[in-house]
């Protein structure tokens, strides 16, 4: 693997090992399945995706990519993990949902396909790479002028540590232990800074809240203290 690539081999290995269970709703990916309709509808509501070209950066097993294709988008999914990509491709054959999967970093794809996408999504991925700012810059390059970009990650504060690591991984066991590393979490101010530096305008921000009593996730624009998602726009 190219030393200069913005990839953490340990992170890739982690998801390689879990790949076969990616579409099992009762597996380590349960939480991802449960939040997906919320993410997908959030994106579809702000940038109706039907008939649009959309790239999903860090697509993993293709959960978001397929749901965007189901909503009518022409989707490209990229990831650096070989096993998740094979799982995504196999699942596509089974579901009949068409997505074009490529093994690529955002930076590599941006070199070839700059300005090629109406919508760029990079969800639950930035906290797994060594240089998030570089990914965001590459995403900005992939978007066409006027296009929309979506980023989601986990905030870095004691509450996020408590909820996303202690709560989600150890108490509720919504995620496998070791999924997240606190130091890699990203404060909204940091994300906003990288977005601005990439020449994008921050348009909207919302939190994603889990209620352990009702076992439902919901979006709450007023609470970005743990999981949160932003929409950015590339100036036309």
Partner 1 sequence: MTMSINRDIVIAGGGMVGVSLALHLGVVLPADTTILLVEGFPFPGVVDGGRPDYHPAFDARSTALSYSSRLIYEKMQVWEDLQQWLCAIDSIHVSNRGHFGSTLLNADEYDWPALGYVVENAWLGKALIQSLYRQGRVEVRSPAKVVAAAAAGTGISLQLQGEGETAIDTALLLVADGANSGLRDQLGVAVTEKPYDQHALVANVASAESHRGCAYERFSDDGPLALLPLLPAAGGEHRSALVWTLPPEHAQHLQTCPEQEFLQTLQERFGYRLGRLLQVGERHNYPLSLIQSTEQVRQGLVVMGNAAHTLHPVAGQGYNLALRDVAELGNLLAEGMAAGERLGDLATLQRYQQRQQPDQDRTINFSDRVPALFMRTDPLLGLGRDLALAGLDIIPGLKREFVRQAAGVAAMRGQHG
**Residues 5, 8, 27, 34: which binds partner 1 (CB under 8 A)?**
34
> Nearest CA to 71 among 57, 56, 52?
52
Q: Should residue 196 be labelled a site residue for partner 1 when binding is judged by CB under 8 A?
A: no
Q: Should residue 44 be labelled a site residue for partner 1 when binding is judged by CB under 8 A?
A: yes
Q: Should residue 214 be labelled a site residue for partner 1 when binding is judged by CB under 8 A?
A: yes
Distance CA 199, CA 211 (A): 36
Residues 91-110 that bind partner 1 (CB under 8 A): 95, 97
Q: How far is the CB of 230 from partner 1 (least distance, A)?
A: 19
**Residues 9, 13, 25, 115: which binds partner 1 (CB under 8 A)?**
25
- The residue among 66 and 127 lying less far from partner 1, judged by its C-beta, is 66
Residue with tokens 């066991």: 173
Distance CA 231, CA 178 (A): 28
Angle between helices 82-95 and 9-18 (to 10 degrees): 40
Q: Should residue 89 be labelled a site residue for partner 1 when binding is judged by CB under 8 A?
A: no
**Residues 41, 103, 173, 220: which binds partner 1 (CB under 8 A)?**
41
In the sheet that holds 227-233, the strands lie side by side as 99-103, 74-79, 53-57, 117-123, 143-154, 227-233, 201-211, 216-220
Per CB under 8 A, residues contacting partner 1 are: 25, 33-34, 37, 40-41, 44-45, 48, 50-51, 66-67, 70-72, 95, 97, 214, 216, 218
């Amino acid at each position: 693997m190219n030393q200069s690539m913005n990839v953490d081999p340990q992170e890739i290995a982690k998801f390689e090992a879990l790949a076969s269970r990616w579409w099992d709703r009762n597996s380590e990916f349960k939480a991802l399945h449960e939040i997906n309709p919320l993410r997908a509808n959030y994106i579809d509501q702000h940038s109706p995706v039907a008939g649009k070209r959309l790239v999903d950066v860090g697509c993993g097993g293709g959960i978001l990519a397929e749901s965007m294709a189901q909503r009518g988008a022409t989707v490209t999914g990229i990831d650096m993990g070989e096993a998740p990509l094979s799982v995504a491709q196999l699942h596509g054959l089974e579901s009949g949902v068409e997505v074009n999967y490529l093994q690529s970093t955002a930076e590599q794809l941006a070199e070839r396909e700059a300005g090629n996408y109406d919508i760029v999504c990079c969800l639950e991925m930035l906290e797994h790479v060594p240089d998030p700012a570089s990914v965001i810059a590459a995403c900005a390059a992939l978007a066409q002028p006027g296009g929309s970009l979506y980023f989601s990650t986990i905030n870095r504060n004691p509450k996020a540590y408590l909820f996303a690591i202690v709560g989600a991984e150890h108490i509720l066991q919504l995620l496998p232990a070791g999924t997240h590393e606190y130091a890699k979490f990203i404060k909204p101010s940091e994300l906003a800074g990288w977005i601005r530096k990439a020449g994008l305008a921050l348009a909207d921000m919302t939190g994603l809240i889990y209620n352990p009593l009702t076992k439902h996730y919901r979006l709450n624009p007023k609470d970005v203290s743990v999981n949160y998602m932003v929409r950015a726009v590339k100036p036309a």
